[in-house]
Structure 1
Amino acid sequence: MIKVLVGVDTSPESRVALRYVCHLLEHCDAQVEAIYVKPDVTFYLQHDFEVPFIKKKSLEEKVEEEAEEVEKQILNVCEVCLAGKVPCEPKIVTGDAAEEILAEAQRGDYDLIVLGSHGHSALRGLLLGNVHNKILHHARRPVLIVREMRNIHRVLVAYRGTSCDQKALEFIAPMLERKKPQITVFHVREKALGETEEFAQKCVMEGRSSLEKFGHAPVTKVVEGDFVDETIKEIMNEDYDLVVLGAYGHNRPKYLQIISDEALTLVKRTMRPVLVFRDKEEHRK
């Protein structure tokens, strides 16, 4: 069974994320839990944060009312999940949003964390909030960022031939086994790093072979240039509904398993849903 933790708040984007992951998993043996983290009123009061014109009781009541409203919204979206045979339950906790989501993911041994995001600015492009950044950097499992609802017909796998990329393929392939979307195994030949054409072709052939084991018929594509620029160009030029990539680049850190700058940049620069893969089993060792 695939266990999924969806972080939700008062934004419509978080409900879109919940709908999207239920669509992704509609043919899987999966269980979805939607977690809402209430602000800790006691924390603000103990640290003398002033909230103008709002008394303690009023603040507590407002927080509870908001939590009740979010729970109703979650239950409504969960009806969509249940219609697709995906069990979905709300969970409400109190504290710091990022810390509580990370802690619950670890405690409940979830296989995937999902977050909704809009984060668009005409001046600064696509943005990620503090919660998203913290979870992307510190989650010990795959994270899916969803900015818009899309039916999954076309999937791009940014494949550099690393072990993390290979495991990302093996993670997503069974989820999509019955949907049978068109999957593109996309490799950027980075000549600046001394990458040969032979290596590039070997990479996409390995990726294709892995997907074929799950009954997929992927296409392969190799281009030359900068990994981030060429991947963004491919995403913008083609109508992909999901982008999948490993969290680490070629220069993977040995001890601090933080997301690569390249993966973070890709998440920030596209409106498409992006799944950033980390192998949670590695963190058990």
Structure 2
Amino acid sequence: MSRLKVLVGVDRSPESHIALRYVCHLLEHFDAEVEAIYAKPDVDMIKLQQFDVPFLKPKDPGETIERETEEVRGQIMDACQVCLAGKVPCEPKIVVGEPAEVILEEARSGDYDMIVLGSHGHSALKGLILGTVHSKILHHANRPVLIVRDLREVQRVLVAYRGSKCDQEALEFLAPLLERKKPHITVLHVRETDKGESEEFARACTMLGKETLEKLGHSPEVKEAAGDFVDETLKEIISGNYDLLVLGAYGHDRPRIAKMISDEALSIVSRTTRPVLVYRNKNDN
């Protein structure tokens, strides 16, 4: 694997800076470089919106925006010290525009290998909430996206493996990242009974995932479950106290719109509190 280029979307929230620290810990002593991108508001656009409000003498927002931008730059540099301590270059990048749009464009034009985002938001009735920026990037980024909600040492990793081409490529992407850390990796295959999946196929699928990781230098544990893919995966995440979940953006039934992730992957990301890496091959158009 050539040097891994990672783009971390940051804003003024502590969650985004936790995400930056998380990926720095994940990549320490790995051949990678990290860029933390902050999309500051467009001053001219804000002035135009203020002008449309009658009987209001607008204040110039430029000074506030620049002050906030410098605060974020300082926070990025503080978080980047974790990367630098692990011999991973880390730099801030300040741009102007709508966050999702500029992150997607920078990832494409800069040929980044992975996007990282911090997330938060809880609802007692609906569980976790993904912001519009996260949803847009998850759907439209044609590369791996890591969603981070808390800072955890990566010691236990769960791979939700269905045996698809996307899942297989996810293993090949993951294995080098974890080569130095050597965490405990569990390969989980859910036999989807509602789709008529046989025990023979499930067993063969599980062994394929295990053998792939063994060839790549890891010693994974394998588990099988039967039932709904989303429900069983979420149960295992909780019971196994994992620090990272890895899954393909789509299973065997790839969506008609190639860049859209499956409803199942989106549901899992939305309902777990653990960091999730949703894999999609950036060269697969």
Under TM normalisation by the shorter chain, which class is it? over 0.9
Matches within 5 A, 1:226-245: 226-245=228-247
Q: 2:58 aligns with which of 45, 55, 58?
A: 55
Shift of residue 76 of structure 1?
0.5
Residue 69 of structure 1 is matched in structure 2 by: 71
Q: Secondary structure at the match of 1:178?
A: coil
Shift of residue 125 of structure 1?
1.4
Q: Distance in 2 between matches of 1:269 and 1:184?
A: 20
Q: 1:173 aligns with which of 154, 159, 175?
A: 175
Residue 224 of structure 1 is matched in structure 2 by: 226
CA deviation map 1:54-88 (0-9, x unaligned): 7342x111111100000000001111110111110
Q: 1:266 aligns with which of 263, 268, 271?
A: 268
Q: Distance in 2 between matches of 1:16 and 1:54?
A: 38
CA deviation map 1:166-198 (0-9, x unaligned): 001110111001111010000000111111111
Q: Is the 8 A contact 1:27 1:175 kept in 2?
A: no
Residue 247 of structure 1 is matched in structure 2 by: 249
Q: Distance in 2 between matches of 1:245 and 1:22?
A: 21
Q: TM-score when scaled to structure 2? A: 0.95
Q: Distance in 1 between matches of 2:67 and 2:148?
A: 26
Shift of residue 273 of structure 1?
0.2
Matches within 5 A, 1:40-119: 40-47=42-49, 48=51, 50=53, 55-57=58-60, 59-119=61-121
Shift of residue 238 of structure 1?
1.1
Which amino acid letter does the alignment assign opposite residue 200 of structure 2?
Answer: E
Q: TM-score when scaled to structure 1? A: 0.95
Shift of residue 44 of structure 1?
2.8
Q: Per the alignment, do residues 280 and 55 of structure 1 end up closer, same or farther by CA in structure 2, a change over 3 Å counting?
A: same
Q: Secondary structure at the match of 1:281?
A: coil
Which amino acid letter does the alignment assign opposite residue 20 of structure 1?
Answer: Y
Q: Secondary structure at the match of 1:19?
A: helix
Q: Is the 8 A contact 2:255 2:261 kept in 1?
A: no
Which amino acid letter does the alignment assign opposite residue 166 of structure 2?
Answer: C
Q: 1:279 aligns with which of 270, 273, 281?
A: 281
Q: For structure 2, which runs of at least 5 residues remain unmatched after alignment? A: none
CA deviation map 1:120-147 (0-9, x unaligned): 2223310011100100010010000000
Aligned residues between the structures? 282
Q: Is the 8 A contact 2:41 2:98 kept in 1?
A: yes
Shift of residue 210 of structure 1?
1.0
Q: Secondary structure at the match of 1:200?
A: helix
Residue 36 of structure 1 is matched in structure 2 by: 38
Which amino acid letter does the alignment assign opposite residue 221 of structure 2?
Answer: V
CA deviation map 1:217-253 (0-9, x unaligned): 0010001000000000111111100000000123212
Residue 10 of structure 2 is matched in structure 1 by: 8
Q: Distance in 2 between matches of 1:123 and 1:8?
A: 28
Q: Secondary structure at the match of 1:177?
A: coil
Q: Distance in 2 between matches of 1:243 and 1:166?
A: 15
Residue 130 of structure 2 is matched in structure 1 by: 128
Q: Secondary structure at the match of 2:38?
A: strand
Which amino acid letter does the alignment assign opposite residue 58 of structure 2?
Answer: K
Q: Is the 8 A contact 1:249 1:262 kept in 2?
A: no
Shift of residue 254 of structure 1?
3.8
Q: Is the 8 A contact 1:98 1:131 kept in 2?
A: yes
Shift of residue 262 of structure 1?
0.3
Greater Cα shift, 114-123 or 84-93: 114-123
Q: Distance in 2 between matches of 1:83 and 1:246?
A: 31
Residue 163 of structure 1 is matched in structure 2 by: 165
Q: Is the 8 A contact 1:168 1:244 kept in 2?
A: yes
What root-mean-square deviation, in Å, do the aligned CA atoms of Structure 1 and Structure 2 show? 1.5
Q: Distance in 2 between matches of 1:51 and 1:91?
A: 36
Q: Is the 8 A contact 2:141 2:259 kept in 1?
A: no
